[in-house]
Chains A and B, each alone.
Chain A
């Protein structure tokens, strides 16, 4: 059974700092890994999707990497801003069905 773990559970940083969020998964037989952002009480916004054959994806100040063999992914946020404050969720898709298995998320607070 796939399990996804995100560390840390919460992170508070000053504005402008670069930061890394971590995600690990137990079964390396995945189709892809997706990072999402969730604002309080809202739905999920897809940030980056990395296919199993890829090593990284970039979008603006965000960079996500994938090391399938070790079961790890990182989300790097450059020059953080208060508007980046949200919960960041990592999810992997794999197995005999196409469901996403989610981590519990990292609650990020960027202080002005």
Chain B
């Protein structure tokens, strides 16, 4: 079974631009979660999508948004980029069963650099 894939792997943008990152989950997985990883803050939860609906959201400004398509693929968008948005963005997929018992499987990440 193919793992979680993320595209692109690397991105360089300038302040004020916007960016879209893509995540394809493991086949059969319906839940996709996004995380931001920075040296100072570590890994922080952005949001989770399940069956095309945002099920959970972390404490990030509205510039960070996402969506999920009917095939469970997910995109994350960041508008009006700031220098502090430079980070590794990780996506994780799981079956999404209730009760929180699922294992989450992570993709390789997208490294975003904002200049």
Contacts and interface: CB of A to CB of B under 8 A. Distances in A.
B111 A41 contact: yes
A46 B48 contact: no
Contacts of A44: 90, 92, 106
- Give the secondary structure class of A's interface: strand
Interface string A21-59: 000000000011010100001111110010100000000
Nearest to B88: A41
A99 B4 CA distance: 18
A46 B100 contact: no
B105 interface: yes
A105 B56 contact: no
A2 B42 CA distance: 14
B27 to A, nearest CB: 17
Given A36-B106, A45-B106, A100 B45 contact: yes
B46 to A, nearest CB: 9
Interface SS of B by simple majority: strand
Contacts of A32: 100-101
A103 B104 contact: no
B58 A103 contact: no
B90 A102 contact: no
Interface stretch (A11-19, A78-86, A90-98): A90-98
B103 A34 contact: yes
A46 B42 CA distance: 17
Contacts of A105: 42
Taking each of A32, A45, A97, A104, which has the highest tally of chain B beta carbons within 10 Å of its own beta carbon?
A97
Please list the 7 inter-chain residue pairs (A to B) with the smallest Cβ-Cβ separation, ordered nearest first: A31-B100, A97-B56, A44-B106, A99-B45, A102-B43, A43-B108, A43-B106
